Structure 1
Amino acid sequence: MSRPLSISASAQGGVYPRPQLVRPNWHDLAGEWAFEHDDHDTGRSERWFANASQLSRVITVPFPPESEMSGISDPGFHPVVWYSRVISSEDVAASGRSLERDRVILHFGAVDYRASVWIDGQFIGSHEGGQTPFSFDVTEALTLHTDCVLVVRAEDDPHDVAQPRGKQDWLEEPHVIWYHRTTGIWQPVWLESVPDQRIAALNWTPNAQAGNVEIEVDLTRRPATGVTVQVELSIAGEILARQSFLTLEPRSLATIQIARQSNGQAFETLLWSPENPRLIDAHVSIIADDGSVLDDSYSYFGLRSVSVAGGRFLLNDRPYFVRSVLEQGYWPQSHLAAPSAEALRAEVELIKALGFNAARIHEKVEDPRFLYWADRLGLLIWGEMGSTYEFSSEAVSRVTREWTDVVRRDRSHPSIVTWVPLNESWGVQQIAHDDAQMNFAQSLYHLTRSLDPSRPVISNDGWEHATSDILTIHDYAGTAEQLDASYRDIDAIRALVAGIGPAGRRLQLIPREVDGQSIMVTEFGGVSFAPDAAGDSWGYTTATSHEDFESRVSGLVGSLRDNPLLSGFCYTQLTDTMQETNGLTDANRQPKLPIAVIRNIVSGEGVPLSE
């Protein structure tokens, strides 16, 4: 049984919160909610979850209360916050619910850091982890004709440095490279109407060399009788493959061969890359033994491979030089939350317009809708975890659990080409002297490789590497001459790696020969230029004029861009972020030099530089 695709997941508008498992029946709950700070944590004992009238303020969800766009705009210490919203019968109907068969799922994209949820005073569930999604089946708690009150309590202790928090400051006022906090709801909240037996998760693992893709299907429960999983793959309306298989299990795997890839001379036409971001659409159905369709869902993937070999980073088995930029994913008016779904597309377009083919999302797990645009428009992404600031058994437990959820959520995105569970020894500050911290870094490397063996993993980006698939170095040398001295030839690189690195830390704690390693300088630059800054500004070096800024950036980038011993670089950074004024653009995404000039510096395409 086969039916034509009616939804192209690869061509969606970028608003749907879960872009690789698309269904038509959903309803966004963004907008005005009731809100209140609970600085003395009395809300539970006073039963605010059953009496939402205690919440006297109004917030715009999904913007964090520290931000201007939330309408609260209070960046102070507020470790507990409460939200409330009426879910009306119109909301439920708008989710597409069919009274005869559908369940209603309440989804949260991310709530920082710990969330508890009630409907009409009935406890629905809780979740810990500020960067990962969660959901609850709320069918029984909702009625089709009666309004219900949804209440959310979010706890985000600014002093708990065992929480994975990335660059959220532990001090009340932002300083140096840390920013205002993002508390509570900061990604979409939405209702979805779904069948009882359905696809709970999809994962795609392409094998570009073999011309096939492995599909992993998770069902909501073990089928009472066998069900058929039916998969149809297509690109631009052309059917590439159809396959069905019977399953009696809640989780099943199948390999789907793409016949077109048997022609080796046409092999590369379907491959995904930044230059040709071809996405393959998928229609996945669950069919009962009587032929009825239990669930329809729509997805996509990219047929591509990433690896390292012979001292090179390989994309689709060919050497590929990574021109990356450090992306904080922070907006002045909305903080870690994007100001709109459209802003996520604009961010990817800006990065590509400036000549980069990659972005390193820094100390943040990004909104899946950003990853969708990276997939669709063609931008390599380094997926990174937001760090803790202490090493403890609690921190180990939290990072391991949340990082597992991150990798499982995002591993089907073709844009993600590298995993970074740790950065600059944050959370493992004594890794060079503490076996427990070294073991933790090693365990994260091997855990990540177990969850996803298809991508390189960096154990500790920047320095003090344990086992890593790429040797990455952070080097904020102030001049091109200093960078040239460290990377001019293989002997200079050997000496750098064998000694104390640019930041005063050893680069490798588990020694490996430099020869044969893929080596990247994954942070450098950081030139501050903010002639109109009213307050403090910070960077690694400071430019005094537009001409000086162009000269400094051009020299630093040029010294690495043309280096045949390196596999790539990552310039710090894309945008000014609060007091950090070392962006190529200001905080509002206005480039500090003409786009053509920056593009020439980054890519070396030959666009004439300014006088």
Structure 2
Amino acid sequence: MTTEHLAAAGHPRPQLIRDPNWNDLSGPWGFAYDDTDIGRSERWQHSADPFDRTITVPYPPESKLSGINDTGFHPVVWYRREISTALPVGGRRLLLHFGAVDYHATVWVNGQLVGEHEGGHVGFSLDITDALNTSGTQVITVRAEDRPQDSAQPRGKQDWEAEPHVIWYHRTTGIWQPVWLEEVPALRIETLHWTPDLPACRVRCEIKLNDWPSAPHRLEVELRLGTEILASQSARITGRELHLDIAVPALRHGQDLERLLWSPENPHLVDAAVRLNDSEDAPVDHISSYLGLRSIGTRDGRFLLNTKPYFLSFALEQGYWPQSHLAAPAADLRREVELAKELGLNGIRIHQKIEDPRFLYWCDRLGLLVWEEMPSVYEYGTTAVHRVVAEWTAAIERDRSHPSIMAWVPINESWGVPNLAERAEQRHFATGLYHLTKGLDPSRPAISNDGWEITAGDFWGIHDYHQNPDVLRRRYEHDALRRGDLRELWPNLKRLLLDDPQYTGQPVMLTEFGGATFVPAEGENWFGYGTVTSEDEYAEMLSGLIEACVDSGLAGYCFTQLTDTEQETNGLLTEERRPKLPMERMRAILRRSSHVTGH
């Protein structure tokens, strides 16, 4: 790894690194339950007395690694941490970053309110400089409200019942991603985005500053592949935002692209250095970043990667660990990507979760395609609409520079829009989310509602858990897909298409299928879509289903699922990440699709 990649590997914000020596606030914090919601009226932000427990951040209190391990209903929790930090000098500022706090966070520093944030899956940052004590000892207090019965809250697969049931699992309350401090210049680069444009042999760099500069500044961008400088460009910036198109001459050599382009097989990353200088050319801010040169598209019923047909071999990824729930130990983020690669998969569909940016870094670095999906609400209404739109927008804006992300999915299986076929407003919402997504990022495919009741989409995702490979093969044979004759496939299930979207060559993919589990022990709580009794039967089931997908007119598959999750015991791997067949045997089955990339 290069020095830049080593720094990015552990950084909570790997595509915008200002200083690799960031101040990690993970570890022990004071903790308190506030079941009667009296903390604000009793001003807990001013006292250490209520904090009678210790929690290990960033693990949620429901998990074992947190040290609390209480899965009961506790809708309001509080955190407290004393730190030592001096006041920034020379006009610099101190930012407090939260990777994710589920669901509504209120933050005080030294008893002074510094900000609030709603949304449990995407992070936020607060400038705490003006609340700091001159003594150097600072107290951070966080109140997190996460009500299990709030069905208009984006919660994904977190259960609203006391114990996990069917396909839902334990809740993740409060802080569940890194908390960290960063000292920054007063004027700084706030957001940074990369969009490659391979046909034009360029990369678009989008910069947003935290404030308007008082005088024109100069932005310098350098792109490197190893020691080779691919591009170096500068521009004058007079406002808060700048869109800079950077020519990459090396992309013009059509026979020399493989060493440049990102793919799961060759995940080349380009290092980027971005410098902001003032009107006298003195340095103001310096960012280390990275990007991948690649294109994603669709044509003639196929997904395209770097303009070539590419068959998708995916598994559904819950992003859930038995000891820590949605919050993975840092080392496990890399290992999860490695396991998917070892199985022979070229991608994963993150299900009902916005993943940690550190996980996306390893997908970028090691080469694994990702579908990003919005965690669902369960009740439609104006509150749900506002919440979903706000958090989905934030997720796309945060993650759209990751080369591994190839598709956006704002709704799954009509969750949150249960009357989609009957209610026009729900159809408008689903279709509106598709158009919002494409408005924010037109460079990737998106779908309004994955699984069925599709109102708009660049591809059509179908969930079909039939366990007979011959039935699947007949349902998805080439001619029917090419005609777009998909209504006939679902005579007893929900309609696949709504508002009669026209078939114009969209890829059709089984985005959920399979899902068989070993016959459980008597009395065991389990969930699956079928059962097998032995390793040989499991291998026969898996091989038959994969071959049916490969032999069909489908553009790819997503097997349910990568790992077991609580009682949902239908993973390729157990909860402890052990394969249910010898790894080489399972890999040989799943790699069957690697030979049909151009199919």
Length-normalised TM-score, structure 2? 0.96
Q: Does 1:576 align with 2:564?
A: yes
Contact 1:464 1:509 in 2 (8 A): yes
**Structure 2: unaligned runs, 5 residues or longer:** none
Q: Mark the CA change 1:168 to 1:311 in structure 2 (over 3 Å): closer, same or farther.
A: same
The SS at the match of 1:158 is coil
Opposite residue 62 of structure 2, the aligned amino acid is: E
For residues 54 and 480 of structure 2, what CA distance do their matches in structure 1 show? 62
**How far is the alpha carbon of 1:533 from its aligned partner?**
8.8
What is the match of residue 102 of structure 1? 92
Q: Does 1:73 align with 2:69?
A: yes
Q: Does 1:151 align with 2:141?
A: yes
What is the match of residue 42 of structure 1? 38
Match of residue 482, structure 1, among 448, 471, 475 = 471
Opposite residue 453 of structure 2, the aligned amino acid is: E
The SS at the match of 1:167 is coil
Opposite residue 582 of structure 1, the aligned amino acid is: N
What is the match of residue 584 of structure 2? 596
Map residues 494-533 of structure 1 onto 2, 5 A cutoff: 497-499=486-488, 501=490, 504-514=493-503, 516-529=505-518
The SS at the match of 2:334 is helix
Q: Which deviates more from structure 2 when the two are superposed, residues 101-110 or residues 409-418?
A: 101-110
Opposite residue 40 of structure 1, the aligned amino acid is: T
Map residues 268-283 of structure 1 onto 2, 5 A cutoff: 268-283=258-273
The SS at the match of 1:268 is coil
Percent of pairs identical after alignment?
52
Contact 1:110 1:185 in 2 (8 A): yes
Q: Does 1:56 align with 2:46?
A: no
Match of residue 395, structure 1, among 359, 384, 387 = 384
**How far is the alpha carbon of 1:268 from its aligned partner?**
3.5
Opposite residue 569 of structure 1, the aligned amino acid is: Y
Write out per-residue CA displacement over residues 228-261 of structure 1, whole angstroms, 9 at most, x where no aligned residue: 0000110111111110100101011110001111
Match of residue 188, structure 1, among 158, 178, 186 = 178
What is the match of residue 138 of structure 1? 128
Match of residue 331, structure 1, among 299, 314, 321 = 321
Q: Does 1:20 align with 2:46?
A: no
**How far is the alpha carbon of 1:9 from its aligned partner?**
3.6
Opposite residue 436 of structure 1, the aligned amino acid is: E
Number of residues paired by the alignment? Answer: 594
For residues 34 and 260 of structure 2, what CA distance do their matches in structure 1 show? 54
For residues 371 and 311 of structure 1, what CA distance do their matches in structure 2 show? 27
For residues 9 and 451 of structure 1, what CA distance do their matches in structure 2 show? 28
What is the match of residue 435 of structure 2? 446
**How far is the alpha carbon of 1:14 from its aligned partner?**
2.0
**How far is the alpha carbon of 1:120 from its aligned partner?**
1.3
Opposite residue 584 of structure 2, the aligned amino acid is: A
Opposite residue 147 of structure 2, the aligned amino acid is: D
**How far is the alpha carbon of 1:79 from its aligned partner?**
0.4
**How far is the alpha carbon of 1:495 from its aligned partner?**
8.3
Q: Does 1:314 align with 2:309?
A: no
What is the match of residue 175 of structure 1? 165
Map residues 86-485 of structure 1 onto 2, 5 A cutoff: 86-89=82-85, 99-143=89-133, 145-338=135-328, 340-485=329-474
For residues 391 and 217 of structure 1, what CA distance do their matches in structure 2 show? 35
For residues 260 and 347 of structure 2, what CA distance do their matches in structure 1 show? 20
Q: Mark the CA change 1:533 to 1:593 in structure 2 (over 3 Å): closer, same or farther.
A: farther
For residues 101 and 85 of structure 1, what CA distance do their matches in structure 2 show? 26
Contact 2:318 2:352 in 1 (8 A): yes
Write out per-residue CA displacement over residues 483-540 of structure 1, whole angstroms, 9 at most, x where no aligned residue: 1121134237868612362771111003245562211010000011266797312100
Task: Please give the root-mean-square deviation of Cα atoms over the aligned residues, in Å.
Answer: 1.8
Contact 2:297 2:445 in 1 (8 A): yes
For residues 376 and 323 of structure 1, what CA distance do their matches in structure 2 show? 19
Contact 1:9 1:19 in 2 (8 A): no
**Structure 1: unaligned runs, 5 residues or longer:** 1-5
Q: Which deviates more from structure 2 when the two are superposed, residues 98-107 or residues 470-479?
A: 98-107
Write out per-residue CA displacement over residues 372-397 of structure 1, whole angstroms, 9 at most, x where no aligned residue: 00001000000110000010000000
For residues 306 and 177 of structure 2, what CA distance do their matches in structure 1 show? 33
Q: After TM superposition, what 4+ stretches of structure 1 lie above 6 angstroms from structure 2?
A: none
Contact 1:472 1:519 in 2 (8 A): yes
Write out per-residue CA displacement over residues 408-456 of structure 1, whole angstroms, 9 at most, x where no aligned residue: 0000000000000000000001001100000000110000000000000
What is the match of residue 85 of structure 1? 81
Q: Mark the CA change 1:31 to 1:502 in structure 2 (over 3 Å): closer, same or farther.
A: farther
Opposite residue 188 of structure 1, the aligned amino acid is: P
Match of residue 543, structure 2, among 551, 554, 559 = 554
What is the match of residue 3 of structure 1? none
For residues 77 and 190 of structure 1, what CA distance do their matches in structure 2 show? 28
Opposite residue 590 of structure 2, the aligned amino acid is: V
Q: Mark the CA change 1:86 to 1:512 in structure 2 (over 3 Å): closer, same or farther.
A: same
Opposite residue 127 of structure 1, the aligned amino acid is: H
For residues 296 and 522 of structure 2, what CA distance do their matches in structure 1 show? 41
Length-normalised TM-score, structure 1? 0.94
Q: Mark the CA change 1:47 to 1:404 in structure 2 (over 3 Å): closer, same or farther.
A: same
Q: Mark the CA change 1:39 to 1:133 in structure 2 (over 3 Å): closer, same or farther.
A: same
Write out per-residue CA displacement over residues 12-44 of structure 1, whole angstroms, 9 at most, x where no aligned residue: 352110000012241000000000111110111
For residues 397 and 459 of structure 2, what CA distance do their matches in structure 1 show? 22
Contact 1:361 1:384 in 2 (8 A): yes
For residues 40 and 329 of structure 1, what CA distance do their matches in structure 2 show? 32
Write out per-residue CA displacement over residues 564-602 of structure 1, whole angstroms, 9 at most, x where no aligned residue: x11110000000100000001100100010111111111
Opposite residue 95 of structure 2, the aligned amino acid is: I
Q: Mark the CA change 1:129 to 1:193 in structure 2 (over 3 Å): closer, same or farther.
A: same
For residues 283 and 130 of structure 1, what CA distance do their matches in structure 2 show? 31
**How far is the alpha carbon of 1:78 from its aligned partner?**
0.5
The SS at the match of 2:286 is strand
For residues 3 and 405 of structure 2, what CA distance do their matches in structure 1 show? 21
